[in-house]
Structure 1
Amino acid sequence: MGKIQLPPSPQATATNPSSASSLPDELPSYDEVTQPIEPYRDAEQENHLSPPPNAYHIPGQQRYNSIRPAQRFSGSVTLDPDYSRHAETLERFIEAQTRLPPRPCLSVHGTHKESRRSGNETKTENVTDFDFRIDLTRTILRWGRNELSGPSERWSYTTVVSDTDGQKAYRGGRIKARSGKKTGRIALGEGDEGERLMDLENQEDYPGVKGWCERFCNDPAPVKSFTYRRSLHGFDARPMRDSLTSHIRSTGYAGHIVINPVVANGFVTVYSPHWINTLRNNAYVYWICIILQLWILTWPLICFMERRYEVVHSKWFSSKTVCDASAPGGVRKCYAAGPGMDEARAAEMWAPVVREAAWQGRVDGCILGEAEIEELRRKGIERREQLGENGNDLPRRGQSVLGAMGIRSIGGVNVTGAWGGDSSSASSSRFSIRMG
């Protein structure tokens, strides 16, 4: 996959303090692997709102079980026996995964409280008005862009832990360690010296992806796992959160809005096909252990038996702050998706889709698909033009007049145009007239 190169110097790349995550202040102490090509090019479609193609499918794929929703959404596992028995198969799999980015998403959630009186008691419950996710992979990342000459900047790096780097990681043991045992030189294949992700500088051997895959597959431990992780850097969710919240409010929504960044396809774990790994990845068994508190016994037993490998990590960047003598302050921010494609611009692109999805009450919690996005975008633009740009805002003006007069309902029906607000009964929310 190319020769070994170091990540950019911290003197050449400044850290953006407002980002959710940023470049490290120091160079990592482990080997860095280049990615000379990206596996996907869409020469005909440059749709920034379209989700990525089905390139993340894994044989034997299962959802990662966790009590934390973010972990369940981010992780996937496989117990395919070929990956834990054949080093070449595992190596090809990991190399292919390093070319796929994490999938940055925004979770859009709206709720309101409803209070009902039953006898002498008043019960309050949370009601979900909308709950969905949007996939920002093509909106903020370089991956999938049609660039015949290749990207002018590197927007992803893959690092592989070596034996003597002092990096704390799972190296085939029960706990994280800063060094690994020597297992002798691993022979290189024919061709380029860096072809097998190996660094032989200073006459020392460092296991690359090939070496770690061989160690994992040759490990006699019956319960073992190999995890590859991806992370996103340089993304600031605040501009998108503020802008999309404002667009949802423009429909008259008066409930509670929560917009948070989440990452899909953040990590992949390969488990050996042992019966313990099979049970631990069974959703029914997992939740039975949680509900009956059996995890107090099972978790320590699994930790004692399992040999863990977490030695390969990819970093993807949506933006970088670079030195530029011609820019104010000597630095400027560049974006992976192209000039001017910052978070505020991305929010405006997604605004019709998010506004319409909230208005329609999408509550499945899933990522919006390509067909849904196009339909929501079309309806969102049409609705906005009818009520605003074309001057047909008489109903909205009438609602404002009634509100100024203190009239909130006529015949039990909310006529202010607000919807989704906290209420003492279901009627004020259910029968509100929503003008978006």
Structure 2
Amino acid sequence: MGKPDFLPPASPANGPVTPLTESASSISLNPTTSTYSASNLGNHRQTYFDDDPAEIAADDLPPLYDEHENDAVPFIDPLAPAAGPAATGLTIEPFKRDARSDTVYYMDPRLDSDPKFLNETLVHLSQLPPRPFAQIRGTHTETRRKSDDKTEQVTVVDFDIEIELTHLLYTNIQDPTNGAWREMRSVGNLEKVRRGTIFATRAPGFGGSGGIIENGEPTVEEWCHRFCASRAGLKNMAFERRVTGWDWDYLKKHLERLVKDTNYRGHTSITFPVRNSRVEIYNACRVNQMRLTKWIEVMFMLTLMFLFAWPYLFFRTKRWETVYTEWSMSRQEPDGTGCMERRYTSMSEAQWYHMWARAIQKAVLERRQGHLDQGDVERADQPADQAGGFAGMVQAGVEAMGVVNRSFGWGGDSGSAGGSRFKFGRR
């Protein structure tokens, strides 16, 4: 077929030839200096048509879409550890992800038979970060009258905002492998956890019963050996990612005061949930596959068979809750004068609060529901008169409503939304 006459001639530079007979070095992502206007666009279109025969050889046809289904670039998680000789866990796909409990389940024969492989998998999983959030929620109760003249209590959500704190776990987020203060640990002998048992208990010799008295605290490698060596028919190892180093009570008190300053009279709930924090590993067997299959779980619920299955699974499964990773947002370090000072990976609680206070208070007054990001911080510092046009009018109106709410109070529990209803008749 003919070649469009407005395309540049083939470059003599070395390199693989493109379908347009141009070298690879001649292709650029930068904009060219050529301009296209309505007057010359028709000429450009006409140059695509030529007088060659309509017959096209099979080799000249474009490839089918299904030939390139596997050519797509896979998604690369920027916070995931880089693949390497020790990153054996990268070869395992989760058996199930439970959105309700935010738990990821793994099941592979190598995980319950090869302690070295299990340890390498836990090391890989420890490098994946938890996702801490600050959640601020306000609700109030309304008494509403239904059509049958009965009343019901309805909970109304006034605001529900979330702010992600994951980036505060890193000193250098561009280097997620080495830019975080994390440490993989095993539980102490005095902690009450499941140690290959059904119920939580301390270590033998430290308040726990049964077994050989511990000589020191077992390491992560030792717990991996014990899990794989266990002859239990059903066994489970839980692995947690914990976030430490911030005074959550201090932050909660300041956020409660911030909401109260808006003269909000409803019920405020401030929590700090941590997502992507729990992994459970089951030994590979038919029973565990069934217990983690959704349709089987639903069937057992509908037929009430869970009344018999749940006690069996509970008392038959041996559980280990002995390994976790601690992600620190601060730590104590020497200051060079013989004293210790607290240093933070990114910022302190007070610094974070002062950066977000105005945006949070504005979102509360606007009755926002959803996530807040850096853009909300920037917009909170922008006066309403800088946003021109209709957007500025809306922003000014919202701020005016916020002033009224702060003056008279808002969000308190109320009675019947329909007001008083009078009935006339004999007494």
Q: 2:414 aligns with which of 423, 428, 432?
A: 423
2:185 alignment counterpart: 159
Q: Provide the C-alpha distance between the structure 2 equivalents of 1:304 and 1:236, rounded to a whole number of angstroms.
A: 38
Give 2:163's aligned amino acid.
I
- Alignment match of 1:111 (pick from 135, 139, 152): 139
Q: How does 1:233-382 map to 2 (within 5 A)?
A: 233-248=244-259, 253-282=264-293, 297-320=308-331, 334-338=342-346, 341-355=347-361, 357-358=363-364, 361=367, 363=369, 368=371, 373-382=373-382
SS at match of 1:309: strand
Length-normalised TM-score, structure 1: 0.56
Q: Show the counterpart of 2:203.
A: 178
1:320-340 CA-partner distances (Å, limit 9, x unpaired): 4678797xxx976513225xx
Is the 2:181–2:345 contact (alpha carbons within 8 Å) kept by the matching residues of 1? Answer: no
TM-score normalized with structure 2 length? 0.57
Distance 1:381 1:167, change over 3 A: closer
Structure 1 residues 161 and 423: alpha-carbon distance in aligned structure 2, compared to 1, 3 A threshold: closer
Give ranges in structure 2 of 5+ residues lacking alignment. 1-76, 82-89, 205-209, 420-427
**In structure 2, the residue corresponding to 1:178 is in which secondary structure?**
coil
Deviations 1:197-255 (A, max 9, x none): xxxxxxx9997444443443454433211222233333222343344345555666543
Offset from partner CA, 1:90-136 (integer Å, 9 cap, x none): 22210122334443322221212222234643322101233343222
Distance, in Å, in 2 between the alignment partners of 1:415 and 1:181 is: 63
The reply to whether residue 122 of structure 1 matches residue 156 of structure 2 is no
User: Are the structure 2 counterparts of residues 344 and 62 from structure 1 closer, same or farther at C-alpha, using a change threshold of 3 Å?
Assistant: farther
1:133 and 2:167 equivalent?
A: no
- Of the candidates 108, 122, 125, which is equivalent to residue 97 of structure 1? 125
Contact 1:64 1:281 (8 Å CA) reproduced: no
Identity of aligned residues (%): 26
Equivalent residue letter for 2:343: Y
Q: CA deviation at 1:301?
A: 1.3
Larger radius of gyration: 2
Q: CA offsets, 1:62-81, max 9 Å, x none?
A: 3458xxx7xx24x4322345
Matched, 1:62 2:96: yes
Amino acid at match of 2:111: Y
Distance 1:261 1:234 in 2: 13
1:306 alignment partner AA = T
Counterparts of 2:402 and 2:194, CA distance in 1 = 62
Q: Render the CA deviation track for 1:358-417: whole Å, top value 9, x for unaligned.
A: 4565546xxx4xxx6244334433367869xx9x989978997xx7xxxxxxxxxx9978
CA separation in 2, counterparts of 1:224 and 1:305?
Answer: 8
Cα distance change on mapping 1:332 and 1:416 into 2, 3 Å: same
Matches of 2:406 and 2:334, distance apart in 1: 55
Note the residue ranges of structure 1 that are not aligned, 5 or more in a row.
1-51, 183-203, 404-413, 429-436
Q: CA 1:255–1:206 in structure 2 vs 1: closer, same or farther (change >3 Å)?
A: closer
Maintained 8 Å contact 1:322/1:332: yes
**Alpha-carbon contact 1:155-1:336 (below 8 Å) kept:** no
Report 1 or 2 for greater relative contact order, CA contacts < 8 Å, sequence distance ≥ 6: 1
Q: CA RMSD in A?
A: 4.8
* Aligned twin of 2:49: none
